[in-house]
């Protein structure tokens, strides 16, 4: 019943950002290869000053982990799936983030949520790019979705973790 | 008596209230079950969070539609790229998605309350799907697509706004209905809980009342128990006293009493008298009746009778081992603690036996000489004679008579006569052997039976007697020496003697002969002279 807070950022700003980050000098080593076409995930970090865009192909080259779990029924998508993706902790650490960082994930529909560092340590959620070996389209909550290991962790079955299970992820901000 | 009346007043009351209490508890259980069922149902429905709701759904659709509309205009103006528009259309479609992949929304509720709004949304979805197909076509006609979007989006946005308002209103109503349901549910739950509280209070009151009653009852019970214990103790004491008295009676009784197990000989009771009789300082632990009886034959007879008939009455026997005494014994074979036991009563008849012996002596002995009297002599000599005759043994009889006894009596008095008889008896006794039998036949006449003696042997003995008496003589009361003599007739057993009498008669005949032929002599029986010899 808790309505998802909506930050209705203007689409113009979103588009113009794409123009802004490209020429910015990279002050840290890139987390992933630059995408061939349109990027799937934008990474921004205050500590390292990194600003870069990753494509799905680039993400697939990073260390990955699999989580086999069903999602809480409120999220739809009934049934158990094998999710594969990059541990969020890896990405945050590559961006120079750590215990004191504010980690924020944003979705295509401008939904945004903060993920506490403790979650990354305790549950090690992944930014999944495939479900049962198949890439996910936008209509299927893709192309990137943050997956917590709900199986075996019943304490995760509450609204807080439903909110943190963000889909259609398109940006990560580490401050 | 007080306790019984109290019981009468309380227990039926308690019993009567049991069904009512049971009904109350059952009702409480039913109410609790119903409340539990309702609560569990609520818990179940609240177990899973629900992410989406209709207002969020329609407002998301509205905002995404607005973004697509704006982006289309930007693309048309060359400020945004076609892939951006494609992406936004996909996002809008995913927002509209009502298949299983989409967020969970109560579409059915929407369908029931706002069918027109749902139709509008479905129309929108169809439109957006068309746009999506166009956007992903190999030959994208960007201009036509953006124009189409710009043309239709305003009207659709208008509908979406109205849908947001309508859904918001419907949703608030729904929420309020849910609130009312919840409110009513909790009201009912409160009533049930209140009822349970009242029921529990009632039960607690009953329990307290029951506890009070139980406490009173237990006090009465304890009182009754104390009284009972007192009575038991009283009876036990009386019983003990009775036992002690009985023991005292038995102990002080002149009878001997013992109760001992037949097999093990374990003594259940023995009185002081018998313990003393057995020469013991303390009552023995075990005692067997057969050990008590002195004489083996009597012992066998006694035990046999006791085993066979279970009782023995007034049997005379010698009891005791060291100093046996005569006792009249009665015994019973009884069962004590499941085992056979002998109960023996003995009455000391030692004095009685002594008196009996004395009486027997008086009946068989001659008071003056101390010898057997005529009857006793005849009785015993008959037995001895028969024994000798049966075994073919020689046997001889002597008849002895004091000479001129009448003269002694007349001249020197009866005292002297008695003295003469005593002296004579003594002298004869000295001469005879232990096996020989001697009796005073009356007056101054004595008879003796000598078993295993031939006529010659008997003659020798008779001669010794005669000589001894002739030598001894006696003294008168005046102190004068007085000589006296005896005559003796001897007869030996012969085949014609069928009894003691003929033999004695033969000896008597020989005595007669001796008297006749001058006295102070011994003569043997001589058959030929027997018929012709006249008395002197």
Residuewise pLDDT in 10s, chain B (536 residues): 444 444 444 455 555 677 888 888 899 899 889 989 988 988 887 776 655 567 778 888 899 899 989 988 888 888 888 888 888 888 888 888 766 444 445 555 566 677 788 888 888 888 888 888 888 887 777 788 888 888 888 888 888 888 888 888 887 888 888 889 889 988 999 999 999 999 999 989 988 998 999 999 999 999 999 999 999 999 999 999 998 888 888 888 888 889 999 889 899 888 888 888 888 888 888 888 878 888 888 888 888 888 899 888 888 888 877 778 888 999 999 988 889 899 989 888 888 888 988 888 888 888 888 899 999 999 999 999 999 999 989 999 999 999 998 988 888 888 888 888 999 999 999 889 888 999 999 888 999 999 999 989 999 999 999 998 888 878 777 778 888 899 999 999 988 888 899 999 999 999 999 999 988 889 988 775 444 444 44
Cα–Cα distance between B397 and B506 in angstroms, integer? 9
Q: Does A7 touch chain B (CB under 8 A)?
A: no
Is residue B113 within 8 Å of B170, Cβ to Cβ? yes
Residue A126 has what pLDDT?
94
Chain A CA closest to residue B52: A1
Is residue B397 within 8 Å of B451, Cβ to Cβ? no
Question: What does the angle CA B386 – CA B389 – CA B392 come to, to the nearest 5 degrees?
Answer: 150
Query: Does A157 map to a domain?
Result: yes
Residue B125 has what pLDDT?
87
Domain that holds residue A38: 11-174
DSSP codes of every residue in A31-49: SSPPPSSS-SEEEEETTT-
Cβ separation of B100 and A15 shorter than 8 Å? no
Query: Does A2 map to a domain?
Result: no
Three-state secondary structure string covering chain A: CCCCCCCCCCHHHHHHHHHHHCCCCCCCCCCCCCCCCCCCEEEEECCCCCEEEECHHHHHCCCCEEEEEECCHHHCCCCEEEEEEEEHHHHHHHCCCCCCCCEEEEECCCCEEEECHHHHHHCCCEEEEEECCEECCHHHCCCCEEECCCCCCHHHCCHHHHHHCCECEEEEEEC
CATH number at residue A55: 3.90.420.10
Query: Does A1 map to a domain?
Result: no
Cβ separation of A138 and B79 shorter than 8 Å? no
Q: Return the closest-CA partner of residue A30 out of A19, A41, A20.
A: A41
Question: What does the angle CA B188 – CA B191 – CA B195 come to, to the nearest 5 degrees?
Answer: 140
Substitution target in A40, A70, A109, A154 with the highest count of B β-carbons within 10 Å is A109
Spatial strand order in the sheet of B395-402: B437-442, B445-451, B395-402, B486-492, B522-524
B532, two tokens: 């012709």
Cβ separation of B49 and A157 shorter than 8 Å? yes
Per CB-CB distance under 8 Å, the chain B contacts of A4 are: 56
Residue B137 to residues A89, B82, B127, B141, Cα–Cα distance (Å): 39, 12, 15, 8
Is residue A137 within 8 Å of A167, Cβ to Cβ? no
User: Residue B282 CA to chain centroid, in angstroms?
Assistant: 30
Q: Does A109 touch chain B (CB under 8 A)?
A: yes
Query: Does A109 map to a domain?
Result: yes
Q: Residues of A numbered 125-144 whose beta carbons fall under 8 angstroms of chain B's beta carbons: which are they?
A: 137-141
The yes-or-no verdict on residue A114 having pLDDT over 90 is yes
Cβ separation of A77 and B87 shorter than 8 Å? no
Among A10, A11, A74, beta carbon nearest to B104: A74
Cβ separation of A73 and B48 shorter than 8 Å? yes
Cβ separation of A12 and B79 shorter than 8 Å? yes
State the residue for tokens 């039960």: B203
Cβ separation of A6 and B63 shorter than 8 Å? yes
Query: Does A156 map to a domain?
Result: yes
Give the distance from residue A57's alpha carbon to the nearest chain B alpha carbon, in angstroms.
Answer: 18
Residue B14 has what pLDDT?
54
Section A102-112 average pLDDT: 90
DSSP codes of every residue in B137-149: SSS--HHHHHHHH
pLDDT 10s digits, B70-116: 988 888 888 888 888 888 888 888 888 766 444 445 555 566 677 78
Among A15, A72, A139, beta carbon nearest to B84: A15
Cα–Cα distance between B418 and B415 in angstroms, integer? 5
CA end-to-end distance (rounded Å), chain A: 30
Chain A CA closest to residue B105: A74
Substitution target in A131, A139, A155, A156 with the highest count of B β-carbons within 10 Å is A139
- Residues ≥6 apart with Cβ < 8 Å to B70: A10, A11, A12
Query: Does A3 map to a domain?
Result: no
The yes-or-no verdict on residue A16 having pLDDT over 50 is no
Delineate the domains of chain B, giving CATH numbers in brackets. 54-181 (no CATH), 253-354 (3.30.450.20), 365-529 (3.30.70.270)
Q: Residues of A numbered 152-171 whose beta carbons fall under 8 angstroms of chain B's beta carbons: which are they?
A: 157-159, 162, 168
B29, two tokens: 């259980």
Q: How many CB atoms lie within 10 A of CB B364?
A: 16
Section A77-84 average pLDDT: 89
Cβ separation of A11 and B94 shorter than 8 Å? no
Residue B414 has what pLDDT?
87
Task: Tell me how long chain A is.
Answer: 175
CA end-to-end distance (rounded Å), chain B: 111
Give the distance from residue A90's alpha carbon to the nearest chain B alpha carbon, in angstroms.
Answer: 27
Give the distance from residue A81's alpha carbon to the nearest chain B alpha carbon, in angstroms.
Answer: 13
Residue B48 has what pLDDT?
65
Q: Does A63 touch chain B (CB under 8 A)?
A: no
Chain A CA closest to residue B91: A138
State the residue for tokens 């309508």: B166
Query: Does A87 map to a domain?
Result: yes
Please tell me the number of Cα atoms within 13 Å of B38 on its side-chain side.
Answer: 16
Domain total in chain A: 1
Cα–Cα distance between A52 and A59 in angstroms, integer? 12
Cβ separation of A3 and B97 shorter than 8 Å? no
Residue B6 has what pLDDT?
42
Query: Does A4 map to a domain?
Result: no
Among B81, B91, B103, beta carbon nearest to A75: B103
The yes-or-no verdict on residue A26 having pLDDT over 50 is no
Among A77, A109, A157, beta carbon nearest to B48: A157
The yes-or-no verdict on residue A25 having pLDDT over 50 is no
Q: For all residues of chain B together, what is the average pLDDT?
A: 85
Which ipTM value was assigned to this complex? 0.74
Find the chain B residues whose C-beta atoms sit closer than 8 A to any C-beta of A. 48-53, 55-56, 59-60, 63-64, 67, 70-71, 74, 79-81, 83-84, 87-88, 90-91, 93-95, 97, 100-104
Residue B534 has what pLDDT?
46
Is residue B221 within 8 Å of B57, Cβ to Cβ? no
Q: What is the pTM of this model?
A: 0.46
Query: Which of A5-19, A77-91, B356-370 is predicted least confidently?
Result: A5-19
Ordered alpha helix ranges (H), B396-529: 405-431, 455-472, 500-516
């Amino acid at each position: 019943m808790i309505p998802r807070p909506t930050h209705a950022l203007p689409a113009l700003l979103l588009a113009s950002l794409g123009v802004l980050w490209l020429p910015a000098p990279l002050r840290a080593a890139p987390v992933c290869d630059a995408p061939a076409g349109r990027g799937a995930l934008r990474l921004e970090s205050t500590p390292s000053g990194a600003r870069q865009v990753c494509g799905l192909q680039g993400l697939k080259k990073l260390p990955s982990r699999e989580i086999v779990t069903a999602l809480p029924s409120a999220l739809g998508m009934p049934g158990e799936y094998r999710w594969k993706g990059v541990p969020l902790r890896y990405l945050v650490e590559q961006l120079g983030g750590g215990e004191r960082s504010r980690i924020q994930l944003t979705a295509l529909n401008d939904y945004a949520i903060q993920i506490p560092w403790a979650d990354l340590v305790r549950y090690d959620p992944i930014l999944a790019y495939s479900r049962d070996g198949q890439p996910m389209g936008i209509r299927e909550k893709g192309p990137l979705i943050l997956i917590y290991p709900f199986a075996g962790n019943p304490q995760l079955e509450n609204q807080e973790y439903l909110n943190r299970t963000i889909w259609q992820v398109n940006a990560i901000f580490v401050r | 008596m007080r306790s019984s009346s109290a019981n009468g007043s309380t227990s039926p009351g308690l019993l009567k209230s049991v069904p009512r209490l049971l009904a109350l508890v059952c009702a409480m259980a039913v109410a609790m079950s119903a409340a539990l069922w309702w609560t569990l149902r609520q818990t179940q429905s609240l177990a899973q969070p629900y992410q989406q709701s209709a207002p969020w759904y329609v407002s998301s659709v509205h905002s995404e539609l607005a973004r697509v509309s704006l982006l289309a205009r930007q693309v048309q103006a060359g400020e945004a790229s076609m892939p951006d528009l494609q992406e936004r259309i996909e996002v809008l479609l995913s927002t509209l998605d009502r298949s299983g992949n989409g967020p969970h929304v109560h579409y059915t509720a929407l369908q029931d309350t706002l069918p027109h709004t749902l139709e509008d949304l479905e129309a929108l979805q169809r439109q957006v799907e068309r746009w999506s197909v166009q956007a992903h076509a190999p030959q994208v006609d960007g201009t036509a697509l953006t124009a189409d979007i710009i043309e239709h989006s305003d009207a659709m946005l208008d509908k979406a706004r109205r849908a947001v308002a309508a859904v918001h209103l419907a949703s608030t109503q729904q929420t309020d209905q849910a609130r009312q349901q919840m409110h009513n549910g909790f009201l009912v739950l409160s009533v049930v809980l209140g009822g349970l509280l009242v029921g529990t209070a009632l039960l607690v009151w009953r329990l307290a009342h029951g506890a009070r009653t139980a406490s009173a009852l237990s006090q009465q019970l304890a009182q009754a128990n104390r009284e009972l214990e007192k009575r038991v103790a009283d009876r036990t004491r009386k019983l003990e006293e009775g036992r002690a008295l009985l023991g005292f009676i038995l102990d002080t009784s002149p009878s001997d009493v013992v109760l001992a197990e037949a097999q093990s000989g374990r003594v259940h009771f023995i009185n002081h008298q018998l313990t003393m009789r057995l020469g013991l300082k303390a009552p023995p632990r075990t005692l067997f009746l057969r050990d008590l009886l002195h004489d083996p034959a009597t012992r066998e007879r006694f035990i046999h009778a006791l085993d066979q008939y279970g009782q023995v009455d007034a049997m005379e026997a010698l009891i005791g081992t060291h100093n046996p005494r005569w006792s009249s014994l009665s015994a019973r074979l009884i069962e004590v603690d499941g085992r056979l036991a002998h109960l023996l009563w003995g009455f000391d008849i030692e004095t009685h036996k002594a008196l009996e012996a004395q009486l027997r002596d008086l009946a068989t002995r001659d008071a003056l000489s101390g010898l057997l009297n005529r009857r006793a002599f005849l009785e015993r000599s008959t037995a001895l004679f028969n024994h000798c005759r049966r075994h073919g043994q020689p046997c001889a009889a002597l008849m002895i008579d004091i000479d001129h006894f009448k003269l002694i009596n007349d001249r020197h008095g009866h005292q002297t006569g008695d003295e003469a008889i005593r002296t004579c008896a003594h002298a004869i006794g000295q001469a005879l052997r232990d096996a020989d039998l001697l009796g005073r036949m009356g007056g101054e006449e004595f008879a003796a039976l000598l078993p295993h003696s031939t006529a010659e042997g008997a003659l020798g003995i008779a001669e010794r007697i005669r000589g001894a008496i002739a030598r001894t003589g006696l003294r008168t009361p005046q102190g004068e020496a007085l000589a006296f003599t005896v005559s003796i007739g001897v007869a030996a057993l012969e085949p014609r003697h069928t009894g003691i009498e003929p033999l004695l008669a033969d000896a008597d005949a020989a005595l007669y002969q001796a008297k006749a032929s001058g006295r102070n002599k011994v003569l043997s029986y001589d058959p030929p002279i027997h018929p012709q010899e006249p008395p002197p």
